[in-house]
Amino acid sequence: MRAVVQRVRSGSVSVDGSPVSAILHGLVVLLGVGAADTSADAERLAAKIDALRIFEDERGKMSHSVVDVGGEVLVVPQFTLYGDVRNGRRPDFTKAAPPDKAQRLFEAFCGALRGADVPVATGRFGAHMRVAIEADGPVTIVASTDGWREGELTATRDTPSAGRSPAPPRA
């Protein structure tokens, strides 16, 4: 799975000129599902994103997560995140999951966020959407499960820094 995570003041999705969903303070996540992705990838990525410390504390340091600040998440399906442009001028989407699998894993990702008590709104799977984002910062993070498999980087809600080496002591 691949996600572009944007910290926002607001975000919304409309289809054919009609509002579909909207959030205020929180995150907009553009989510692509790859052909090799599994439900475990959906859960791991959701755990990583709900624990990302990209909201500022009273000192202006990014030390709070979307959960900590009571924010919302708007998740927008975006298969084009798997567009491979290494050859030619037209993106190749063969590494994107087929629509039925992508929708199932998209819903699993959203369900994992909801399981962490994060309010989740979504775009409409398979629709041509207009996405409005009022960026905050801007703060944009790209996260991917590419390479996350048994024994590799994992994230849990209890250990959001799992898989990273401890920071060296400060002098």
The CATH number that applies at residue 51 is 3.50.80.10
User: Is residue 11 assigned to a domain?
Assistant: yes
Please write the tens of the pLDDT for every residue from 71-96: 999 999 999 999 999 999 999 999 99
Determine contact, residues 79/34, Cβ cutoff 8 Å.
no
In a domain, 147, yes or no: no
Domain that holds residue 114: 2-141
pLDDT score for 116: 92
Does 60 reside within a domain? yes
pTM: 0.85
Count of the separate structural domains present in the chain: 1
Please indicate, yes or no, if residue 149 is contained in any of the structural domains: no
Q: Tell me the per-residue pLDDT of 113-136, one tens digit each, with 9 for 90 and over.
A: 999 999 999 999 999 999 999 999
Does 93 reside within a domain?
yes
Contact 118, 70 (CB under 8 A): no
Model confidence at 7: pLDDT above 60: yes
Query: Residue 171 burial (CB < 10 Å; 0-12/13-18/19+)?
Result: exposed
Q: Which residues are catalytic?
A: 78-80
Is the residue at 61 inside a domain? Answer: yes
